[in-house]
């Protein structure tokens, strides 16, 4: 199988085009390349500034977007218009993030569903993919400015535990930013590469990658053999990071000055200002014994000793995650050959010391922990470019493979440039009550609508036993063998019925046709993603209309006349919005309908519960 790269400007195939490595982080992001002369990875930065770009996006009243340090400055003054930590929302539904909803000071739409989450700023709705694409676009532009050459190809890193949907969302964000994402690489793998691990074929090692960033903690146990990285286990806490160390200081200062935490809730500006001071103190204490400063005329003081006492429980939490990860990997601390430190928070002496003690050997911390992942991504990019002949390059799929889902959308199961052999599976369900069959249409290509891709095959899974919509679990799996033969299987998991088909993945596709498909996907990226967002909004809107309709039919007696009328008119408005080409309007109307139905839906629920409590059947 071929590895194809395209120069967007000319549309021609190019071998020597630069491929950047991007660490798209929760708190900060950055770009790295392999220096053409020294062959060493370097993080790109403007003269005299940091390589780190805060992953923060600010929207002004006119819809102008700023990213990075300039956007971060708005965190205090305009929390509703300033989006941070969008990575936490990637590939998630509101139900996935609702326990942590208070974490976000901007508006995450509460639609109480499994649909992908959206953020509202003013009267616009943004998906996490949109938000991440703004960060990536900024990184691309910076890299172009520094390198004085177009940058169109990238390797982007993601946490090892990211699932399919989150990896796909990251790819989509890259595409939307005008980047051809050649590979999604696990962050711990990239960090290991940056330490030169895994670059020799006969190397066999067990590696622990300890990554404590601004808001998240991950521990990954990896094995390398035959030049292949395998993730043996991951563990961590997606809501534990440098921010918690800052909060420990904030709490301490509040206690010292006799304030309580409610004060922070009431005054968001003060809360942000004291948090920034606390971060400054924490960083200062990594190389000094005591910190002293002022805020609004009040003195703020803390010593390293007090700080370390405060945060010991946080460090201990990370260590219990390490214990669990080792257990899952079936290894003991002594089996770990190398421990790699990643993330700005590993600069804290208490962290380095505790982890060295736990693993029984000094940790590897010589590479800048903020840059190490991006540097590794740059090394991976260089390997993909074919410049590093020592490393085995596996065969890859030249185009993405997927199936058609609701509204004619392409749902990718095996992304382009995945190594083969490969397998992937995803679960789907029916959307009609009693539906007995499901058509599986297999497509190849990079466009968001299947009509723009190539159909490879189609078959019907029949004989699904009658069940209400949403109950059957149909697992569609793709298996590509080493010859590029794709086997697609669909299986209803509750009943066990299954059907499969064999396809030759790139049936007589010429290089020119392949090139055209790739080029089309990039030139149409923006409209494709807009169409996808519109189709998804319509599907969600239609589902909402259907469930509201069903609910009302069942519970009409509990609703007042006024509620009935309001609901009917909100449903009509949503119906109308669905016929138009404006996803934000659909979301607005869906939200209005949700806002109207929420109070009575809750009332009906409460009523059902109180009946049940009285021992009556509902």
Footprint of ligand AMP (CB under 6 A): 25, 27-28, 213-214, 242-243, 279, 282-283, 286, 343-345, 347-348, 370
Residue 557 CB-density burial (10 A; 0-12 exposed, 13-18 middle, 19+ buried): exposed
Q: How far is the CB of 505 from ligand AMP (least distance, A)?
A: 39
Q: How far is the CB of 79 from ligand AMP (least distance, A)?
A: 18
Q: How far is the CB of 504 from ligand AMP (least distance, A)?
A: 44
Residue tagged active-site, from 130, 211, 244, 584: 211
- Coarse DSSP helix, strand, coil percentages of the chain, rounded to the nearest 5 percent: 45, 25, 30
Q: Which residue(s) pair with 120 in the sheet?
A: 107, 125
Residue tagged active-site, from 23, 365, 382, 540: 23
> What is the 3-state secondary structure of 450-497?
HHHCEEEEEEEECCCCCCCCCCCCEEEEEEECCCCEEEEEEEECCCCC
> How far is CA 481 from each of CA 1, 25, 89, 309, 381, rounded to the nearest angstrom?
12, 34, 34, 55, 25
Q: How far is the CB of 116 from ligand AMP (least distance, A)?
A: 24
Question: Considering beta carbons, is residue 246 or 382 the nearer one to ligand AMP?
Answer: 246
The span from the CA of 594 to the CA of 566, in Å, is 11
Q: Where are the beta strands (DSSP E) in 144-297?
A: 153-158, 180-186, 205-212, 217-225, 228-237, 290-295
Question: Max CA-CA distance within the chain?
Answer: 79
Give catalytic status of residue 187 as yes or no. Answer: yes
The span from the CA of 132 to the CA of 255, in Å, is 37
Query: Helices marked H in 74-163 — which ranges?
Result: 74-77, 94-97, 128-147
From the CB of residue 439, how many other CB atoms can be counted at a distance below 10 Å?
Answer: 12
From the CB of residue 401, how many other CB atoms can be counted at a distance below 10 Å?
Answer: 27
Q: How far is the CB of 265 from ligand AMP (least distance, A)?
A: 22
Q: How far is the CB of 105 from ligand AMP (least distance, A)?
A: 17
With CB atoms as reference, the residue minimizing the distance to ligand AMP is 242
Q: How far is the CB of 373 from ligand AMP (least distance, A)?
A: 8
Give catalytic status of residue 211 as yes or no. Answer: yes
Q: How far is the CB of 245 from ligand AMP (least distance, A)?
A: 7
Q: Where are the beta strands (DSSP E) in 98-249?
A: 107-108, 119-121, 124-126, 153-158, 180-186, 205-212, 217-225, 228-237
Question: Considering beta carbons, is residue 282 or 416 the nearer one to ligand AMP?
Answer: 282
**What one-character DSSP code corresponds to residue 446?**
S
Question: Considering beta carbons, is residue 183 or 275 the nearer one to ligand AMP?
Answer: 275
The span from the CA of 13 to the CA of 4, in Å, is 7
Give buried/exposed letters for 402-421 (b at 16+ CB in 10 A, else e).
Answer: bbbbebebbbbbbbbbbebe
Question: Considering beta carbons, is residue 281 or 336 the nearer one to ligand AMP?
Answer: 281
Give catalytic status of residue 549 as yes or no. Answer: no
**What one-character DSSP code corresponds to residue 406?**
G
Residue tagged active-site, from 72, 87, 92, 583: 87
Question: Considering beta carbons, is residue 25 or 79 the nearer one to ligand AMP?
Answer: 25
Strand 498-504 versus strand 485-492 pairing type? antiparallel
Give buried/exposed letters for 283-302 (b at 16+ CB in 10 A, else e).
Answer: bbbbeeeebeeeeeeeebeb
Q: How far is the CB of 233 from ligand AMP (least distance, A)?
A: 21
Cβ(130)–Cβ(176) under 8 Å?
yes
Give catalytic status of residue 87 as yes or no. Answer: yes
Question: Considering beta carbons, is residue 347 or 426 the nearer one to ligand AMP?
Answer: 347
Question: Considering beta carbons, is residue 158 or 414 the nearer one to ligand AMP?
Answer: 158
From the CB of residue 377, how many other CB atoms can be counted at a distance below 10 Å?
Answer: 34
Question: Considering beta carbons, is residue 343 or 445 the nearer one to ligand AMP?
Answer: 343
Residue tagged active-site, from 111, 138, 172, 187: 187
Question: Considering beta carbons, is residue 279 or 404 the nearer one to ligand AMP?
Answer: 279
Q: Where are the beta strands (DSSP E) in 226-382?
A: 228-237, 290-295, 298-303, 338-342
Q: How far is the CB of 247 from ligand AMP (least distance, A)?
A: 11
Question: Considering beta carbons, is residue 19 or 191 the nearer one to ligand AMP?
Answer: 191
Residue 560, CA atoms < 13 Å, CB-side half-sphere:
8
DSSP letters for 542-553:
HHHHHHHHHHHH
In total, the chain counts a number of residues equal to: 618
Q: Where are the beta strands (DSSP E) in 358-431?
A: 401-405, 409-414, 422-428
Residue 337 phi/psi, 5° resolution?
-80, -35
What residues are labeled active site?
23, 87, 187, 211
């Amino acid at each position: 199988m071929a590895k194809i790269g395209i120069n967007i400007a000319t549309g021609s195939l190019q071998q020597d085009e630069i491929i950047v490595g991007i660490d798209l982080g929760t708190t900060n992001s950055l770009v790295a390349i392999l220096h053409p002369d020294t062959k060493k990875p370097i993080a790109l930065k403007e003269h005299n500034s940091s390589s780190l770009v805060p992953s923060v996006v600010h929207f002004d009243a006119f819809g102008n977007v700023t990213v990075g340090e300039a956007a971060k400055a708005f965190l205090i003054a305009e929390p509703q218009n300033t989006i941070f930590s969008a990575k936490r929302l990637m590939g998630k539904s509101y139900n996935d993030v609702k326990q942590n909803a208070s974490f976000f000071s901007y508006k995450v739409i509460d639609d109480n569903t499994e649909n992908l989450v959206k953020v509202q700023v003013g009267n616009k709705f943004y998906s996490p993919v949109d938000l991440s694409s703004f960060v990536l676009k900024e990184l691309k532009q910076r890299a172009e400015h520094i390198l004085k050459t177009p940058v169109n190809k990238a390797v982007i890193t993601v946490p090892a535990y990211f699932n399919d949907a989150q990896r796909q969302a990251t790819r989509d964000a890259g595409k939307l930013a005008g980047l051809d994402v050649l590979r999604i690489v696990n962050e711990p793998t990239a960090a290991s590469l940056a330490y030169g691990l895994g670059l020799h074929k006969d190397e066999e090692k067990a590696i622990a990658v300890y990554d404590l960033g601004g808001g998240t903690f991950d521990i990954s146990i990896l094995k390398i053999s035959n030049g292949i990285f395998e993730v043996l286990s991951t563990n961590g806490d997606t809501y534990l990071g440098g921010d918690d160390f800052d909060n420990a200081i904030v709490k301490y200062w509040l206690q010292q000055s006799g304030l309580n935490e409610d004060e922070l809730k009431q005054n968001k500006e003060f809360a942000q200002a004291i948090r920034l001071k606390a971060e400054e103190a924490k960083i200062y204490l990594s190389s000094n014994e005591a910190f002293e400063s002022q805020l609004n005329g009040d003195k703020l003081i803390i010593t390293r000793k007090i700080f370390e006492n405060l945060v010991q429980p946080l460090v201990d939490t990370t260590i219990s995650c390490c214990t669990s990860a080792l257990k899952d990997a079936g290894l003991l601390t002594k089996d770990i050959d190398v421990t790699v430190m990643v993330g700005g928070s590993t600069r804290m002496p208490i962290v380095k010391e505790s982890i060295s003690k736990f693993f029984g050997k000094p940790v590897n911390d010589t590479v800048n922990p903020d840059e190490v992942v991006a540097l590794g991504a740059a090394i991976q990019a260089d390997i993909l470019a074919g410049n590093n002949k020592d490393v085995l390059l596996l065969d890859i799929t030249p185009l993405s493979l997927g199936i058609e889902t609701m509204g004619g959308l392409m749902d990718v199961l095996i992304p382009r440039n995945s190594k083969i052999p490969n397998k992937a599976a995803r679960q789907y369900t029916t959307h009609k009550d009693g539906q007995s069959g499901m058509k599986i249409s297999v497509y190849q290509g990079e466009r968001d609508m299947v009509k723009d891709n190539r159909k490879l095959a189609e078959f019907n899974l029949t004989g699904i036993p009658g069940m209400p919509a949403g109950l059957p679990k149909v697992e569609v799996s793709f298996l590509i063998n080493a010859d590029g033969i794709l086997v697609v299987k669909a299986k209803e998991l509750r009943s066990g019925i299954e059907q499969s088909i064999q396809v030759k993945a790139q049936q007589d596709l010429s290089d020119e046709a392949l090139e055209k498909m790739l080029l089309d996907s990039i030139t149409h990226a923006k409209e494709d993603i807009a169409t996808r967002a519109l189709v998804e909004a319509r599907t969600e809107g239609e589902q909402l209309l259907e469930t509201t309709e069903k609910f009302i039919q069942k519970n009409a007696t509990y609703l007042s006349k006024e509620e009935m009328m309001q609901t009917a008119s909100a449903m009509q408005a949503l119906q109308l919005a669905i016929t138009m080409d404006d996803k934000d309007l659909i979301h607005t109307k869906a939200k209005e309908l949700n806002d109207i139905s929420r109070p009575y839906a809750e009332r009906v629920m409460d009523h059902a519960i109180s009946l049940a409590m009285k021992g009556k059947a509902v």
